[in-house]
Chains A and B, each alone.
Chain A
Amino acid sequence: MTTLQSNILEKHTPSGREEAWRFTPLKRLGGMHDGTATPVLRNSLMAKGELPAGVSLTRTTITAVTETDDAIVNRIREFTDQGTILEIASNTEVASPIFLGRATGALDTAEFARVLIKVGTHTKATVIIENTGDTHLAEDLEIAVGPGSNLTLISLQEWGAQTVHAGRHHAIVDRDATFKSIVVTVGGNLVRLLPTVDFIAPGASCDLSGVYFATAGQFFEHRMFVDHKVPNAKSRVNYKGALAGDKAHTVWIGDVFIRAAAEGTDTYELNRNLLLSDGARADSVPNLEIETGEIVGAGHASTTGRFDDEQLFYLMSRGINMEDARRLVVRGFFNEIVSEIGIDEIQNRIMTRIDNELAKAGK
């Protein structure tokens, strides 16, 4: 470790006053941000079942595609250059989803994980990462989507109650490529995810969707950053969250930057939160920075509300009891995004988990 590196890390140890860290309860990060955690190289990400033709998963040396100022990612990169590369060959249409998962973990150390998903040109695939169990995980995930390709990445945080997960999912999207991300966070003590997108050539597009449900004591933060620095790129962000129970806390930050060169940009971001009980707190901060007027469209909306009495009344007037009516409304609220996963088994599992969270909170 060079002295210079150490200085940089010291500089990057968040105090909580930084914009990027002002909502995060640093004390609950297990020391992943300040060097007090015991990092381990576990490479816990595994393929579930056979990988389809044209897809490979390798443990190897990784070179970061882009730099970042994220403190935790910099600590991971300083700790190791080893990681996992999922490569999807060019001109491949992978018909069924590629299932990956993390299930082995520990709470007395912190897994520092580097992953690169490399998608060739003119390729179409769906990658699903299923995160379960209890662990401390610091995750540096980069996704390079080659020209003309179409990648869907589904990251499911179905963690146990003690998990601490801080991750950055950074997509680099090339010419005419499409990156679609679906994030589901329904478990964990603290989850802080940064779905970020870098458009590097015109015609690129991204669609960042997510759902989260925090109950008593849980902290879930989702912080997007979409960097429009090339012309004619399109971005959509749609996150929906529900909160129930004392000190349930969620944070959604939608930073979209349209640089001077990004003419023809088309962007819209939306965050909706459903506050199901007192004592819960939803922070929602859309933030659009525009350096050129030559754009197709740029907009954002953010709402935080409670149950709609009219909806509950309508359902109950048909004989449906309060509990079932609430469940229907909450399922309905999330359905728009969960149904995009497109795999019944997973959708049902997520919805059942949401039902259970709601039932738990109702008690």
Chain B
Amino acid sequence: MSTLEIRGLKVSVETEQGAIEILKGVDLTIKSGETHAIMGPNGSGKSTLAYSIAGHPKYTITGGTVTLDGADVLEMTVDERAKAGLFLAMQYPVEVPGVSVSNFLRTAATALRGEAPKLREWVGEVKAAMETLKMDPSFAQRNVNEGFSGGEKKRHEIMQLELLKPKFAILDETDSGLDVDALRVVSEGVVRAKEANNHGILLITHYTRILKYIKPDFVHVFANGRIVEEGGPELADKLEANGYAEYVSA
């Protein structure tokens, strides 16, 4: 059983006009096996939260703590956070020219497992992950995210989730840009990974449709850089019906 604990997290970004505060004190605790959904208006800071936990250099932590089983995540380099068990499926996955998916995945798996996976087993693992996400085997030879459609990039992220087996997965709008069939395929991938690894999930989304597949235990409303309400799955339905007006004007 693992715990990811975020306490009073404050984050700012540097702009030409100086630093602006985006996260204004976020508190959130996620345990293994739990699924937490975060919903909130555009620009409220959801991706900032995700990136800050993963250690993106653009964000400056100005207050608060993030710990994983007591270990100080904010002190870790980006790769150390991944090694500690954090995984971020990005809203906009990055293209890495000239680096093949297969080389990338094997390098990542080697880094996370501490040794190179045995070639024969690894090929099987990758093939199985690609099949379940309905990705054509030719993707293995393509360059990381280069020329991938929006939906293909998201499948590729979840394929990594299946292969890299983290303790906590942060999914930043993994459902955005997916057609109805892809949404099902990708969601099933997430559920399958969770059944296999019992990881905790922080799922950022604008829509309840993904929550039909990935059932949240908790729903948090995010507005203006902090969590403004928490509840069970029924809160998501209320948000879909009423929008965020009452939180934004507050």
Binding site for B on A (CB under 8 A): 309-311, 313-322, 324-325, 328-329, 331-336
Q: How many A-B residue pairs have CB under 8 A?
A: 82
- Asked if A320 and B99 sit within 8 Å, CB to CB, the answer is no
- Chain A residue with the shortest CB-CB distance to B78: A316
- Asked if B82 and A313 sit within 8 Å, CB to CB, the answer is no
> Could you list 9 examples of A-B contacts with CB < 8 Å?
A311-B94, A311-B95, A314-B93, A314-B144, A315-B108, A318-B164, A319-B83, A328-B99, A335-B99
- Which B232-248 residues sit within 8 Å CB-CB of chain A? none
- Do A313 and B56 form a contact, CB below 8 Å, given A319-B82, A320-B108, A324-B107? yes
Bound-state CA distance A98–B57 (Å) is 49
CB distance from A329 to the nearest CB of B (A): 7
Bound-state CA distance A322–B108 (Å) is 12
- Asked if B107 and A320 sit within 8 Å, CB to CB, the answer is yes
- Asked if B57 and A315 sit within 8 Å, CB to CB, the answer is no
- Asked if A314 and B96 sit within 8 Å, CB to CB, the answer is yes
- Which B41-55 residues sit within 8 Å CB-CB of chain A? 54-55
- Asked if B97 and A321 sit within 8 Å, CB to CB, the answer is no
CB distance from B155 to the nearest CB of A (A): 16
- Which B132-189 residues sit within 8 Å CB-CB of chain A? 143-144, 160, 164
CB distance from A344 to the nearest CB of B (A): 14
- Asked if A335 and B98 sit within 8 Å, CB to CB, the answer is yes
Q: A317-B54, A319-B108 are in contact. List 18 more A-B contacts (CB 8 A).
A: A309-B58, A311-B94, A313-B94, A315-B107, A316-B55, A317-B78, A317-B88, A319-B83, A319-B164, A320-B79, A321-B77, A322-B77, A322-B79, A324-B107, A328-B96, A328-B104, A329-B96, A334-B98
Q: Is B191 in the interface zone, CB < 8 Å from A?
A: no
A interface footprint on B46-84 (CB within 8 Å = 1, 0 otherwise)? 000000001111100000000000000000011101110
Bound-state CA distance A73–B57 (Å) is 51
CB distance from B104 to the nearest CB of A (A): 7
Q: Is B112 in the interface zone, CB < 8 Å from A?
A: yes
- Chain A residue with the shortest CB-CB distance to B112: A319
Residues of A within 8 A of B82 (CB): 316-319
- Do A321 and B98 form a contact, CB below 8 Å, given A313-B57, A314-B93? no
CB distance from B79 to the nearest CB of A (A): 4
- Asked if B111 and A321 sit within 8 Å, CB to CB, the answer is yes
Residues of A within 8 A of B87 (CB): 317
- Asked if A336 and B112 sit within 8 Å, CB to CB, the answer is no
Binding site for A on B (CB under 8 A): 54-58, 77-79, 81-83, 87-88, 90, 93-99, 103-104, 107-108, 111-112, 143-144, 160, 164
Bound-state CA distance A87–B82 (Å) is 57
Residues of B within 8 A of A317 (CB): 54-55, 78-79, 81-82, 87-88
Residues of A within 8 A of B99 (CB): 328-329, 331-332, 335
CB distance from B99 to the nearest CB of A (A): 4
- Asked if A328 and B90 sit within 8 Å, CB to CB, the answer is no
CB distance from A19 to the nearest CB of B (A): 33
Q: Which of B58, B97, B111, B143 contacts A320 (CB 8 A)?
A: B111
The list of the 4 closest CB pairs from A to B, nearest first, reads A332-B98, A335-B98, A319-B82, A318-B108
Residues of A within 8 A of B88 (CB): 317
Bound-state CA distance A335–B146 (Å) is 14
CB distance from A325 to the nearest CB of B (A): 8
- Asked if A314 and B94 sit within 8 Å, CB to CB, the answer is yes
Bound-state CA distance A313–B78 (Å) is 7
- Asked if B79 and A316 sit within 8 Å, CB to CB, the answer is yes
Bound-state CA distance A317–B78 (Å) is 6
CB distance from B147 to the nearest CB of A (A): 13
Residues of A within 8 A of B54 (CB): 313, 317
- Chain B residue with the shortest CB-CB distance to A320: B111
- Chain B residue with the shortest CB-CB distance to A311: B96
Bound-state CA distance A320–B82 (Å) is 8
Residues of A within 8 A of B111 (CB): 318-321, 324
- Asked if A332 and B143 sit within 8 Å, CB to CB, the answer is yes
Give the residue among B90, B93, B108, B164 with the most A Cβ atoms within 10 A.
B108
Residues of A within 8 A of B107 (CB): 315, 320, 324, 328
Q: Which of B77, B90, B160 contacts A316 (CB 8 A)?
A: B77
Q: Which of A310, A315, A316, A321 contacts B104 (CB 8 A)?
A: A315
- Asked if B79 and A321 sit within 8 Å, CB to CB, the answer is yes
Bound-state CA distance A322–B87 (Å) is 17
- Chain A residue with the shortest CB-CB distance to B56: A313
Bound-state CA distance A331–B143 (Å) is 12
Residues of A within 8 A of B160 (CB): 318
Bound-state CA distance A325–B77 (Å) is 13
Residues of B within 8 A of A324 (CB): 107, 111
- Chain B residue with the shortest CB-CB distance to A336: B98
Residues of A within 8 A of B108 (CB): 315, 318-320
Residues of B within 8 A of A309 (CB): 57-58
CB distance from B167 to the nearest CB of A (A): 13
